[in-house]
Structure 1
Amino acid sequence: MTIENDTKSLLISALKKCGAVKFGDFTLASGKKSKYYVDIKKASTDPVTLTVIAEQAASLVLNEKVDIVGGVALGGVPLATAVSLKSGLPLLIVRKEEKGYGTGGRFIGDLKAGSRVVLIEDVTTSGGSVKDAIAAIRGAGGFVDAVITVVDREEGAKQSLSAIGVKLIPLVGASDLIQ
């Protein structure tokens, strides 16, 4: 499943209008250098852009036959929350590491053995950070077959996730954004 061109144009416009697409010299989380940066946290805090993302992602989520919408802390949480509200599916927050106090655990939400989870990501580059969350969910008995990302930087995430049996569904690709 892919996003239609007019829908994609709406998202691209919203991302640019809220200032989420920046050009210059940037260092990515991976340490890699880039001439552009996509600040989805800027988009997540803009209600208009967040609504566009949530509507587009929720329409895809409902086609995936899943039980839970998941987001990896921190960037994926507001996105997954918005998609949960639009889709009516419960929310799962995946912490980067297990919490050693309070109720502990790696998950916030009701992940049961056999639960089918779709993860919502802000930006994917190589897919490394989301693969860790997928492994944690699978280790707890859940299933992840798809990741929906707002922006795929088109630098290997699709292939990396495919190698572990997960399809990457981008709302937009970097090539669409930086034209």
Structure 2
Amino acid sequence: MTDETTTADDQLALARDIDACCRLTGEFTLRSGQVASEYFDKYLFESDPVLLGRVADRMVDLVPPGTELLGGLELGGVPIATALSARTGLPALFVRKKAKEYGTCKLAEGPDVAGRRITLVEDVITTGGAVRDATRELRAAGAIVEVVVCAIDRSPADVNPLDDVQLEVRPVLTKAELDAVHG
């Protein structure tokens, strides 16, 4: 078995395990107000130390050279960024949805971001709204943000939902890969 085959087999196994753990059926009201018969509960893999570790292991090679900080987005990106930080030795930064209105009034908890190259870390990207907002805020604070690594990219194939903010998306898994193993 070659390394390439092993990697493909590992990817397929991870997709199967994540799908089996996280895809729920029933009646779910989505953020948009629409009702769906299927829901993907990403917190189920994030709270499982083995699955979280496997995702973080796959993310290591997605982090671009020159990254100084890993910016985990509230809430789902925080455990992934922490696991990834432990594997890479890069410091983690915890990025809030909006700056605190008390104490330090920070958007990002951890080291100073000004002039630093930050790779954002997110659990699932569909439209990229939270990532887009964080990118704009961090750049306004002087950070260099060019890449987001995510566990799952649920956007349509061949579409980068973050092109408008010139942000490259590097996923561990895609919606197509999860749909292909669902059965």
TM-score range, shorter chain: 0.7 to 0.9
Distance 1:40 1:153 in 2: 12
Contact 2:71–2:121 (8 Å) recurs in 1: yes
Q: Which runs of 5+ in 2 are unaligned?
A: 1-6
1:116 aligns with 2:117: yes
Distance 1:91 1:158 in 2: 28
Contact 1:153–1:173 (8 Å) recurs in 2: yes
Residues 80 and 32 of structure 1: CA distance in aligned 2, closer, same or farther (over 3 Å)? farther
Residues 112 and 149 of structure 1: CA distance in aligned 2, closer, same or farther (over 3 Å)? closer
Q: Which residue of 2 aligns with 1:94?
A: 95
Distance 1:164 1:16 in 2: 30
Match of 1:27 among 26, 29, 47: 29
1:132 aligns with 2:133: yes
Q: Which has the larger radius of gyration?
A: 2
Higher mean C-alpha deviation, range 5-14 or range 40-49: 5-14
Residue aligned with 1:22, SS? strand
Match of 1:9 among 3, 7, 12: 12
Calculate the aligned-residue CA RMSD, in Å: 2.0
Q: Which residue of 1 aligns with 2:42?
A: 40
The letter of the residue matching 2:93 is L
How many residue pairs get aligned? The number is 174
Residue aligned with 2:96, SS? strand
Distance 1:140 1:154 in 2: 28
Distance 2:98 2:158 in 1: 21
Q: Which residue of 1 aligns with 2:74?
A: 73
Match of 1:49 among 37, 48, 51: 51
Normalised to the residue count of structure 1, the TM-score between the two structures is 0.87
Q: How far did 1:34 drift?
A: 4.0
Q: Percent identity?
A: 36
Distance 1:114 1:101 in 2: 25
